[in-house]
Homo-oligomer: A and B are copies of this chain.
Amino acid sequence: MLKVPEHQVAGHDDERGTRELTFYHSFSSNTRIPHHIRRFFPVFHGTQLLKASDGSGLRPHLVLQDITSDHLNPSILDIKIGSRTWYLEASNDYIQNCFHRDKTTTTVSLGFRICGLQIYNESGFWKPGRKLVRNFTADDVRSVLRKFVSSNVGPEPDCCFARSVYGGCDGILERLLELKTWFEDQTMYHFRSCSVLLLFDKESFLRGKTPFAEVKLIDFAHVEDGNGVIDHNFLGGLCSFIKFVSQVLADSKGSTMEDKI
């Protein structure tokens, strides 16, 4: 239930945690969030005093739903959405740092970047290192999106779960389109530097458990006030990501899970 230290409100990571808490307080009391949109966010259970990660005494920590706890061996993609991760009010150094990272990853070119992943297969988890992930190209992204829904992670992923996981009315694509519709309209928040988390548990799928695939939003330390403007940065990146997922789905029509079982 408790995610420590990423969600520690105070401590060496003071400001970040405080900003994330501010967002959760605003969001959880915001009556203009539709119910079907609230489901995309981790459930917020308030704060709790816990020992700080640096051992310096009790500090308030965010208590959030652990999205992965219901799953045995979840495959996870963490996709930071948007072609820009900096914000106008930031210091010049901060902007230049983000700007450099954005240009040298797929953030600028694709409008999103994969910033973490683990994919489960017969031999355990495939979890490439940070440096490898940071150097992903558009083709690497396509390959990861195929491996995420395959029974193998070799050079020719079979995409046998693509239709079940990405497609259908409960699939990831449909969830992403729901999010998109909300982002076309909402002008309350700008989700700077937030991630879309895709989760797929082959075990849950094979046992017929639902949901076996989920879409969540995470990382709200840099959420800004929308000031009556839509979050065109998030929306553009989300549309680009949706197109990538659609393409994998379209390419894998024909190969289905049923072929493999």
Contacts and interface: CB of A to CB of B under 8 A. Distances in A.
A110 interface: yes
A228 to B, nearest CB: 7
Contact of A233 (B99, B187, B230, B236): B236
Contacts of A72: none
In this complex, the interface size class of chain A, counting residues with CB under 8 Å from chain B, is 20 to 34
Copies in the complex: 2
Contacts of A108: 84, 88
Interface stretch (A120-128, A162-170, A237-245): A237-245
Contacts of A110: 229, 232
Contact of A83 (B84, B228, B240): B84
24 contacts: A83-B232, A83-B236, A84-B84, A84-B108, A88-B103, A88-B108, A88-B109, A99-B99, A109-B229, A111-B232, A111-B233, A138-B229, A184-B239, A185-B243, A228-B247, A229-B240, A230-B240, A232-B236, A232-B239, A232-B240, A233-B236, A235-B239, A236-B237, A236-B239
Interface of A: 83-84, 88, 99, 103, 108-111, 138, 184-185, 187, 227-230, 232-233, 235-237, 239-240, 243, 247
